[in-house]
């Protein structure tokens, strides 16, 4: 068992974030008799899953759904719930990979043109059209809701 400070050092996740995950029922803590939070091996596994899901841009609600399954009886219903969330995110991740691939291709196309300003000027309209095409494909509303604008 680890205290919140020990667990924080072990995982590089701040105590404030651990308390937040506890409050949001993403990582409900166990308590000692004195009321202090303690964490065990299962919590370590769960928090690793949480960090991977955060990195993969899962919503907190989906992360909570996934972590709640650790506390339910094993069975097909659990598997079905997890699979539903994961299928949705796999499709979204594949779409993001497709978009990132296109963005990388545009950037790689721009780089050689930046070596010669005349060449850049000759191709500027084409580059602007490529950027406009990418812009049309992204979900700008999703980005601005996340505070990335």
What is the model's pLDDT at position 110? 82
Domains of the chain in start order, with CATH, are 2-71 (1.10.1660.10), 89-145 (no CATH)
Average pLDDT score over the chain: 88
What is the model's pLDDT at position 146? 52
Q: Is the confidence at residue 141, as pLDDT, over 90?
A: no
- Residue 149 confidence class, pLDDT cut points 50, 70, 90: very low
pLDDT for 16-34, tens place per residue? 999 999 999 999 989 999 9
Degrees, nearest 5: CA angle 88-96-69: 30
pLDDT for 59-109, tens place per residue? 999 999 999 998 888 889 889 999 999 999 998 899 889 889 988 998 888
Spatial CB neighbours of 132, under 8 Å, sequence gap ≥ 6: none
Q: Of all residues in the chain, what percent are helix, strand and coil, respectively (each to 5)?
A: 75, 5, 20
Check: CB of residue 98 under 8 Å from CB of residue 90: no
Matching residue, tokens 């406009």: 132
């Amino acid at each position: 068992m680890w205290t919140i400070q020990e667990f924080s050092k072990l995982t590089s996740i701040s105590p404030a974030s651990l308390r937040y995950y506890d409050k949001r029922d993403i990582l409900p803590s166990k308590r000692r008799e004195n009321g202090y939070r303690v964490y065990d091996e299962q919590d370590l596994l769960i928090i690793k899953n949480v960090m991977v899901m955060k990195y993969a841009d899962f919503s907190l609600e989906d992360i909570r759904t996934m972590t709640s399954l650790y506390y339910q009886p094993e069975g097909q219903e659990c598997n079905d719930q997890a699979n539903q969330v994961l299928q949705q995110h796999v499709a979204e991740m594949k779409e993001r990979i497709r978009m990132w691939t296109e963005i990388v291709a545009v950037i790689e196309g721009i780089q050689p043109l930046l070596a010669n300003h005349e060449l850049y000027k000759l191709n500027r309209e084409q580059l602007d059209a490529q950027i406009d095409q990418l812009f049309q494909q992204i979900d700008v509303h999703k980005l601005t809701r996340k505070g990335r604008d």
